[in-house]
Amino acid sequence: MHMSDLSPASASSSQRSLIARLEIDLRLLGMIGAFALVCLTFWIVTDGRFLSARNIFNLTIQTVSVAIMATGMVFVIVCRHIDLSVGAILALASAVMGMMQARWLPTTFGLGLGHPLIAPLTMLSGLAVGTAIGALNGWLVGYQRIPAFIVTLGGLLIWRYVGWYLTAGQTIAPLDQTFLMFGGAEGTLGVALSWIIGAVASAAAIWVQYSARHRRRQHGFPTRPVWAEGVVMLLTSGAILGFIAILNSYQVPQAKLRRIFEARGEVMPEGYMQGYGLPISVLILIFVAIVMAVIASRTRLGRYIFATGGNPDAAELSGINTRLLTVKVFALMGFLCGLSAIIAQARLQAHPNDIGTLDELRVIAAAVIGGTALSGGIGTIHGAILGALIMQSLQSGMAMVGADAPLQNIVVGVVLVLAVWIDIQYRKRLGMR
């Protein structure tokens, strides 16, 4: 029988069968295609500058703080809540950390910048502030039954200005050098260690895919063809090693290298060059993504979160303490806000009072663009990170072609609405709510 002999319905059925057999996530594939289209467009209009090693390096470190918070926002939205206070929590945590380094620790404990305890104590304070505010939000929503929109809208108006009063409206600087290593260019792993981590990550990705296939076969579930598994493994490891190669190819400026050698009392060898490698902040994002994905798919907490989002009444009747679960989800969101404050402040090398402005909208947009349903019950960690990367790519590309800030926000808003519309149409075609 020739393909021409098949009816359109039969051909369509065969295509769906092939897609199902290959386990292709069409939505994820579409997002990757959209991201590739954005990159290709800006690569053309910027004469190749958009995909230069320098811009890719900057793009990754600029994406980290929003992407980390977006992973937490996935859980919040999956539970049918919203958190409008994440940018304000980040700002307050940053204000506390700035005051810890520049005022409180030096005056109270006599710990000046450079003391080994400055960085860990500062980071612990930021994480504690974020977690405490998140837990308070969760308690008000879960136990006092105040709508999350109202609680977090109030937080948006409160916490940033609490931070403003703490700093008396001043920009706080300088910051501890160890602390600055968590912000991007000041803290990278270098070429050799980056290659080692890339090789380990590639091997781990291949092992995870192999183990998943082995488990499915053991339990009698259908598996993808061997060639399809091989292609996925090859693409995954290729993407990881290619990303590392790009970061390693971005060279540290010669003037900066000379200052480093001079600080050590040495003379820089003629023709010496050094690549940046993987930023510590990006490594933190990767670790957070793995942990959040494991929580979502392999733990009781993750199952409870998605069960509650799918049907809150049924979840409560089945014995899930949805009130305590709400506290945990918002506390986790607050912790991630504190972690993002560390990275954002270290990248800016100061605490400016406008830090985190509009981050709440960027974080929600990243989660929604990444496929998290506002109706609850559906969302992925990798989708939220890809959504954050798409948004940052749009903003970075438009800045490179000279578009002003209002136009950048207009484009991001259009993309957000378009992404939600496409998601609705996609779910309708699949018969999903």
**Percent residues over pLDDT 90 in the chain:** 64
| Torsion angles phi and psi, residue 279, rounded to 5 | -70, 145
Q: Is residue 21 part of a domain?
A: no
As given in the structure block, the two tokens for residue 345 are 């402040």
- Count structural domains, the chain: 2
Q: How confident is the model at residue 411 (pLDDT cuts 50, 70, 90)?
A: confident
pLDDT of residue 120: 95
pLDDT of residue 257: 84
* C-alpha dihedral, 53 to 58 to 61 to 65, nearest 10°: -140
Q: pLDDT tens digit string along 330-362? A: 999 999 999 999 999 999 999 999 999 989 999
pLDDT of residue 255: 85
Q: Are residues 300 and 311 in the same domain?
A: yes
d(CA 258, CA 268): 6
Q: Name the nearest CA neighbour of 88 among 367, 330, 339, 354.
A: 354
Q: Are residues 299 and 422 in the same domain?
A: yes
d(CA 301, CA 224): 29
Assess contact for 333 and 75: CB atoms under 8 A.
yes
pLDDT of residue 16: 53
pLDDT of residue 1: 45
**Percent residues over pLDDT 70 in the chain:** 94
Q: Of the residues 229, 250, 278, which one is the last residue of a structural domain? A: 278
d(CA 293, CA 288): 8
Mean pLDDT, range 196-221, rounded to an integer:
90
Q: Is residue 16 part of a domain?
A: no
Q: What is the longest distance spanned by two Cα atoms in the chain?
A: 85
Q: pLDDT tens digit string along 287-337? A: 999 999 999 999 999 999 999 999 999 999 999 999 999 999 999 999 999
Q: Is residue 337 part of a domain?
A: yes
Q: Is residue 1 part of a domain?
A: no
- Per-residue pLDDT at 129 exceeds 60: yes
Q: pLDDT tens digit string along 67-80? A: 999 999 999 999 99
Q: How confident is the model at residue 3 (pLDDT cuts 50, 70, 90)?
A: very low
Q: Are residues 265 and 299 in the same domain?
A: no
CATH code of residue 415: 1.10.3470
Q: Are residues 285 and 234 in the same domain?
A: no
d(CA 340, CA 87): 10
Q: How confident is the model at residue 254 (pLDDT cuts 50, 70, 90)?
A: confident
* Distance of alpha carbon 171 from the chain centroid: 26
Mean pLDDT, range 10-34, rounded to an integer:
66
Residue type for position 171:
T
Q: Are residues 309 and 410 in the same domain?
A: yes
